[in-house]
Structures are given as C-alpha cells and as structure tokens.
A and B are shown apart, each in its own frame.
Chain A
Amino acid sequence: GENVEQHPSTLSVQEGDSAVIKCTYSDSASNYFPWYKQELGKRPQLIIDIRSNVGEKKDQRIAVTLNKTAKHFSLHITETQPEDSAVYFCAAGSTGNQFYFGTGTSLTVIP
C-alpha cells in the first residue's frame, strides 16, 4: 500500500516568515494530494489539495507543489501568522482507494 512520509515533525517560525512542509509518497498510482490543518482538539480541515495533472496550486498565502517524478509534494505558507499555528497533515490517495496520511507537522508561529 501507500506510504506517506512527512517532514519536519515540528517547525517553529517567526511571524511573517515562510514555512515549508515536505511529504513523499511511494505509490505511483496516487493522483490526489490533500493537505489538512488540525488545531488542538479539533477535526482536521482541508486547506488545499492538488491533483497529479497539476504541478502547483496557490490559494492566497498557501501553495502546494507536486513533483510526480520524485514522488514528493510540499506545502508552502508565506507571511505566517499566529493563527497558522496547528498540526498539518499531508495525504496521498487515488481513485478507488482511501487516503493515507503523513505523521503530521506541528507548526508554531512565534509572534
């Protein structure tokens, strides 16, 4: 099955700086890559996703890039704010299969 690795496990940045979280996947059949944000004690919420026919997608301060050849994808958050502090999960999946999640990155934005 699919194996998703996520790095780093923790990340601290100063407010206004950028944060980058990287994930790799193993199954070349995976064609959909969502990112979720989970605040303490709350449900994971979808923040952005990318499909395998796209190399990059941006939504305001958040962007995701995908390198199918290398089987890795990354989340970029620019101009970080304290409310960006949370645990971020990447996931990989394909039509007909469930999503597999990375182990999460705890992001702390220091005011």
Chain B
Amino acid sequence: DSGVTQTPKHLITATGQRVTLRCSPRSGDLSVYWYQQSLDQGLQFLIQYYNGEERAKGNILERFSAQQFPDLHSELNLSSLELGDSALYFCASSLTWGRDYGYTFGSGTRLTVV
C-alpha cells in the first residue's frame, strides 16, 4: 500500500455520462497530481493542486475539472464522457509543491466508457 488511496478502482459508464474519481493523498502530503494513462500510452499530466489551490495545468480537457478539498483529498470530475476517455487515471501525491523528489502514485481508477 503506497498510502495514496484512489476510489473507485474500476468504473464502467456510458458515453455522455459524468463521473467523479477520488484521491486521498499520503498522510502529510500537500500536493496532488492527476495523470491519465491510455492503453499503451505514457502518463499524461492533467492537473496539480497544492494545499487546496490549483498550481499547474497540463493537457486537461475542458470537460474535465478537479478540486482539492480542505482535508486535502482531491476529486477529478469527467463529464460528457466519450469512448476515448477510457483510460487508467492515476493520482499521485508529494510532500510539497515542486520539491525535487518523486511522487507516490495511487493504484489508479480504470475508467471504461461504453
């Protein structure tokens, strides 16, 4: 167990629907990152939050949004889902914003859009 908790582990939903993925960072970590990993693809950075504030944005679609709550857990909201949104979504956390040591990843949420 990495200490980063993601729920649910699996999600199957229909096109056009909206889903929410949840991430609880490792205890003490203030920074949360969301990544998308499609089949046979690398890790695409979506968005970063630090202590409740958005810090960096990557290739995140307008249909996607995220937030980090006062208890530091984060949610990634995906709306108007398309088949191409099917992917493994990882959350990672680190102690501080931009510190130079590696993230700890959660086990991911596998989203299947049918």
Contact = CB atoms under 8 A, between A and B. Distances in A.
Q: Could you say which interface size class chain A belongs to? A: 20 to 34
A95 B97 CA distance: 8
Contacts, number: 57
Judged by DSSP, the binding face of A is loop
Interface of B: 2, 33, 35, 41-43, 45, 48, 55-56, 58, 90, 97-108
29 contacts: A31-B100, A32-B100, A34-B103, A36-B102, A42-B107, A43-B2, A43-B105, A43-B106, A43-B108, A44-B90, A44-B105, A45-B2, A45-B105, A49-B101, A49-B102, A51-B100, A89-B43, A93-B98, A93-B100, A96-B97, A98-B45, A98-B55, A98-B98, A99-B45, A101-B35, A101-B42, A101-B45, A103-B41, A104-B42
